[in-house]
Amino acid sequence: MHAWQFDHYGHYSENLHWVERPTPTPGFGEALVRTRAVSLNFPDLLIVQGMYQHKAPLPAVPGVEGVGVVEAVGPGSKFKVGDRAVGFCHGGGTLADCFLVHNNSAWTVPGHVTDEQAAALSVTYGTSYFGLHHRAHLQAGETLLVLGAAGGVGLAAIQLGKLMGATVIACAGDAAKLEVCRLNGADHLVNYKDEDLIERVKDITGGEGANVIYDPVGGDFFDKVKRCVAWDGRIVIIGFAAGRIPSIETNRILLKNMAVVGLAWGQYLDRGSRLPEEAQFRFYDMLARRQIDPVIYRTLPFDQTHEGLRIIESREVYGKVVITR
């Protein structure tokens, strides 16, 4: 088979090449999927640089989620040949003709879900649902502030936050991205590059602060929003797109009766939890009812994978970039 492979860590523009490599053989509980669509994620940029928490042995293939048709199954696989399946591969591997999925982190895809939708919603909606529901316990009537709100996980958080009955404050870096947030249900929009984030949140919340803060960005933005949490509020740490891992004073946590919680969605899969699969089928129902709608910024053919990564790296993207065969 062929795959986008890198044999040393570096920038995708110089280390990622379309090469021939052996087709993997499914082991126990695994299936081999012939690729139809792969959604790119921010971690793909980190994987090729060796900066992601999971490092596959070199030479390696990026791509953490993908959809396709099962071509072969290993012993104990829950799939059969011909099933359409979507899978999450923590260490990468989906940017290839074929990739392996494991029972714990792959699901069949119902007929009403397109390849592109299935590829676009596993990681983003999984992350945002587990962050908001399981970790932050977001309640109807609460205020949810979303940083990086026009990104992949950010838009999913807006849509799910609205479904859960929250008032959503979306924070993004330009007017076009904020308009996308508005179209996806955000009640209040803050341009966190041009506006005083702390003052705007105080104004919007009557001085109280937001009940839940969803943070996939970190860095300087975290330093600001940690001052905008309501009494009994929760900050959910999702990621560090800004690059710097920030910190928080414990007296601030005490004085606001605040909780700072982390969410690593992939851990639920790695530990064999049934919850992600249940959530996935709930997302498919929500999609059928038009309650959620994964935003796909661009669909590109496989030979334009570099362009897809460039779109994410340049921050021009809102929602998802999907690569199709």
Nearest distance from C-beta of residue 53 to ligand NAP, angstroms: 9
CB closer to ligand NAP, 164 vs 295: 295
CB closer to ligand NAP, 208 vs 270: 270
CB closer to ligand NAP, 97 vs 174: 174
Report how far residue 127's alpha carbon sits from residue 152's, in angstroms, rounded to the nearest whole number. Answer: 10
- Of the chain, the end-to-end C-alpha distance in Å amounts to 13
Per-residue x/- track, 162-201, ligand NAP (CB under 6 A): ----------xx---x------------------------
Q: With 0-12 CB in 10 A as exposed, 13-18 as middle and 19+ as buried, what is 180?
A: buried
Examine residue 89 and tell whether it contacts ligand NAP (CB under 6 A): no
Examine residue 216 and tell whether it contacts ligand NAP (CB under 6 A): yes
Per-residue x/- track, 110-149, ligand NAP (CB under 6 A): -------------x---x--------------------x-
Residue indicated by tokens 């506006």 = 195
Residue 215 and residue 225 in contact, taking contact as beta carbons nearer than 8 Å: yes
Residue 176 and residue 151 in contact, taking contact as beta carbons nearer than 8 Å: no
Examine residue 312 and tell whether it contacts ligand NAP (CB under 6 A): yes
Report how far residue 177's alpha carbon sits from residue 172's, in angstroms, rounded to the nearest whole number. Answer: 6
Examine residue 66 and tell whether it contacts ligand NAP (CB under 6 A): no
Beta bridge partners of 68: 35, 85
Examine residue 298 and tell whether it contacts ligand NAP (CB under 6 A): no
Residues, the chain, total?
A: 325
Examine residue 246 and tell whether it contacts ligand NAP (CB under 6 A): no
Which position among 37, 85, 241, 309 is part of the footprint of ligand NAP (CB under 6 A)? Answer: 241
Nearest distance from C-beta of residue 325 to ligand NAP, angstroms: 22
CB closer to ligand NAP, 271 vs 289: 271
Which position among 63, 66, 93, 151 is part of the footprint of ligand NAP (CB under 6 A)? Answer: 151
DSSP tag of 319:
S
Work out the number of other CB atoms within 10 angstroms of the CB of residue 69. Answer: 17
Examine residue 154 and tell whether it contacts ligand NAP (CB under 6 A): yes
Nearest distance from C-beta of residue 149 to ligand NAP, angstroms: 7
Examine residue 95 and tell whether it contacts ligand NAP (CB under 6 A): no
Order of strands, edge to edge, in the sheet holding 210-215?
188-191, 167-172, 143-146, 210-215, 229-237, 259-262
Query: Any residues with CB less than 8 A from the CB of 227 and at least 6 apart, and which?
Result: 198
Comparing C-alpha atoms, which of 104, 72, 62 is closest to residue 87? 104
Where do contacts with ligand NAP occur on this chain (CB under 6 A)? 41-43, 123, 127, 148, 150-154, 172-173, 177, 216-217, 238-243, 263-266, 312, 315, 317
